[in-house]
Structure 1
């Protein structure tokens, strides 16, 4: 969800750096629900997974071929040559959108269908552990992959035979990896599928057609398509996962992360590139640590009996003191750890809200400080430690809250919706996240000067605070209470 490209742009933030990002967001907003619905309507889980892998890799291969053509061709300045290059770039934009949609479909199949289906066979409390392990692998790959791709041009440039076309050979290596990886994914998926009778069983597909739609001809016109999309959106907004989706979308709206806008602000505020690199690596390490924080938090809350306040009925003022886990209050037969996961998510979103407060303070101080605009590109010195240290530490530690909440949210999407709606709900969720990403780009495009970053930081913190409020509202509706309050025995007797 975050733009990873760094561009100082003469003292301005990198705006949506190409039509590719905007096209991907728009395609995800419009088409992701349809991709998710296709996942729901595909009876074979293995076929759905293979199709998403194949489409994703073919799109990457075709895009690499287009980039290879652009990098190998010579720019002679002719209008026909420029027109051809713009045509190739348009194809790359289209392929990038297809790849993003296929990646979203892969998430809907694997994370929202295969994993919750397999979890009961592993153990009653295994779902959050499986999610954490998968996310740990994903985050480690996201940390290592940019460095590997960055080293490729450097390595080819050091060899005399490949130095003139180092970027071309870099694209060739990426294409070769994309050509080989589907076979590994297919073999691994087929091995898991063949050893699981639950995965081999066809999914129960529920046709959610109204009487009017059943009587219409087979031809699908625009009004019928829009009606189905609107009915799917209404189902999603009326579901239990609506408020958590709004919460995580608001969290991804924040620019207080080591992505392009904030890195540009740091470099223009006097931070040296080594300091930014170290801070970004430290932040990535804390992100990976969230995959250990999540299982630890669930285990701790499960083994800790607490007493809490809860109204017996909404219309009554009587307050009861209940001891034990939340599942004793509101039984949830689908997963015994659901209450603990929801509570860990609440602590995570408030952790992010509180840890970003010193970051906002640091941004405001650096923006107002007259000596913070002297670029310092060498060494490990900070422009103003009083503001710089809270900024860097606040942003880094907030990532623990973000990814812990992301894990909790993933499990909510796996367990709360009906199985026949998981794919569609995942597609709608990706549409909401794409809207947040597009809004973030629009904000950085409008307020593109480094001195405007203080306003962006304030907006980001307010968005995260709104996310905390939405999720707290969700917990209040689900559990009837927010805080588990320790009380003394004498106070309990007095009230009762």
Structure 2
């Protein structure tokens, strides 16, 4: 359809009478009674876009033909998958997300997350079983995964953004992840048993001519496992991006409804944290009770059995939700951004240059977003080793804490993390009730007018209220983490036996002298570290929703892909520092570096909130409170 005709049609659609006279050939209906106004005629759908009208007459998003330029029209795969389902069998529920949709969405995400978390931990066990006398294999695997994430996370996010069919994107990530895990499980089955007769560490330090053939075969299979691990890691990242940055943002109900974005984010993160806690425990029990090879078979079988169920549940949600059904808008500027002039075609240099240009463009788009300071502050938290991860657990074991105590503390910390998914929705709702709250997206919000609206019982802007609640709760969350890590730092310093007390500041020495007893020291260390996790995950959840709502939908996943690249980079820095400062008495410097990173993140986020809201503290309210207290005291 020509541009002027398209504009004319839009004018008809937005007219109060909703008259469609003059466009009878553009109107079709489906079994649910929804109207579709499309610009194509006959069998020619090359320039077709549509608007879906539900039974109440409200419009779905409009897709202009110009924006469809460069969009892939290869949805035949999804059409074939749904060919057995007639139009009358597709029950579309137009009024937001229903309970059945949410159940299927949670089920699909649960199975995906369970398989991802299970394989992440199981691969560590399998590597240790295959190469029991050296840490080299585990180090190689960790470095390869981290570097792959740094290099390719933004590309995965861009792919999710540019694929117009949401179902096809999600199913591709599910299938790629399952194939990678099943293929790796087959290889792990032959690799996990250590080779007899090989000296400890010899598999990584022999000369080429002295390598036994079985060792060469085992090394080759381990190399294939590393490649499949990269595919598994990137497909898992793509699955999370597609689900958390596209599906739930698109399918969520309006703010204040039962299945709004805040609620969906909290439940999805709760599923993730529960799987992160339970899946490693279960696979550890299986390996301990039945052997490593049975554990390998369990991982592969779980992935195989859940594959079909995940796809079925995802299709169920996609079929019933008209927002997910609609083809995603892909900005026509994407192709122009990736064009590099003055480079000869059909050369490898052109391909490399285009890839580097796109990679750089992803970072440029990231820093052009309004919410990048909050995102960067979140990624910097991964510089901290003050969490129940490998480096910190190794330090605790080296200073004499038992594995049983560490396990109990880690479980308590996980319970606190899960509780953040319950606290966050209520916190956003409560803190979003503030009036006269400065700025919204950098623009001054209404002050007295908003208060007048509240006095008249008029509904305030729900979007503004939600954003206010997210910004304020995020600031509370990261501040909570920062303050509760202070006792943890003091406890870690007191555990460093090589520090003479006289070398510390007098105040610090007095504080450390009060927590030198082992029971009290353990309580201070584990209690405050565990409750600090509440602030971390509250901040994580609020920042996730801010990036979901304040980032362009055409770049939402690529934005998160760059964010994941920063996360992997900071984790790599943390591991490199741990390699350099590898003695237990030197861990205090790693801990101090982590606390400093949290403090810097707090400053960055607070400055961003101040710019967005115009203030951090209601000084006028504090003044009024002081006046009230003074009046009461006078009485």
Question: Could you tell me the TM-score, scaled by structure 2's length?
Answer: 0.66
* Cα shift at 1:369: 7.3
Matching residue within 485, 488, 491 for 1:356: 485
SS of the residue corresponding to residue 250 of structure 1 reads helix
Instruction: Report what 1:184 is aligned to.
Output: 309
Matching residue within 194, 200, 213 for 2:339: 213
Determine the C-alpha separation between the residues in 1 that align with 2:292 and 2:481.
39
Instruction: Report what 1:162 is aligned to.
Output: none
Instruction: Report what 1:172 is aligned to.
Output: 297
SS of the residue corresponding to residue 240 of structure 1 reads coil
Instruction: Report what 2:374 is aligned to.
Output: 244
Instruction: Report what 1:272 is aligned to.
Output: 402
Choose between structure 1 and 2 for higher RCO, CA contacts under 8 A separated by at least 6 residues. 1
Determine the C-alpha separation between the residues in 1 that align with 2:167 and 2:609.
35
Count of equivalent residues: 457
Corresponding position: 1:292 with 2:384: no
Determine the C-alpha separation between the residues in 2 that align with 1:173 and 1:364.
42
Does the Cα contact within 8 Å between 2:338 and 2:358 map onto a contact in 1? no
Does the Cα contact within 8 Å between 2:432 and 2:467 map onto a contact in 1? no
Alpha-carbon distance change, 400 to 15 in structure 1, aligned in 2, over 3 angstroms: farther
Corresponding position: 1:155 with 2:289: yes
Matching residue within 234, 252, 261 for 2:391: 261
Determine the C-alpha separation between the residues in 2 that align with 1:296 and 1:121.
16
**What's the RMSD between the two structures over aligned residues?**
3.3
Corresponding position: 1:81 with 2:237: no
Instruction: Report what 1:28 is aligned to.
Output: 149
Does the Cα contact within 8 Å between 1:256 and 1:262 map onto a contact in 2? yes
Cα deviations across residues 30-66 of structure 1 (Å, max 9, x unaligned)?
1111111111111110000000000111111111111
Instruction: Report what 1:420 is aligned to.
Output: 554
Instruction: Report what 2:528 is aligned to.
Output: 394
Question: Could you tell me the TM-score, scaled by structure 1's length?
Answer: 0.84
* Cα shift at 1:88: 0.9
Gap regions ≥5 residues in structure 1: 8-13, 157-165, 315-319, 372-381
Alignment of 1:82-481 (within 5 A): 82-120=215-253, 123=256, 126-156=260-290, 166-207=291-332, 208-210=334-336, 213=339, 219=346, 220-303=350-433, 305=434, 336-368=465-497, 384-481=518-615
SS of the residue corresponding to residue 522 of structure 2 reads helix
Determine the C-alpha separation between the residues in 1 that align with 2:226 and 2:157.
22
Alpha-carbon distance change, 134 to 212 in structure 1, aligned in 2, over 3 angstroms: closer
Structure with bigger gyration radius: 2
Gap regions ≥5 residues in structure 2: 1-115, 129-134, 199-210, 455-459, 501-515, 628-635
* Cα shift at 1:18: 2.7
Instruction: Report what 1:317 is aligned to.
Output: none
Alpha-carbon distance change, 83 to 415 in structure 1, aligned in 2, over 3 angstroms: same
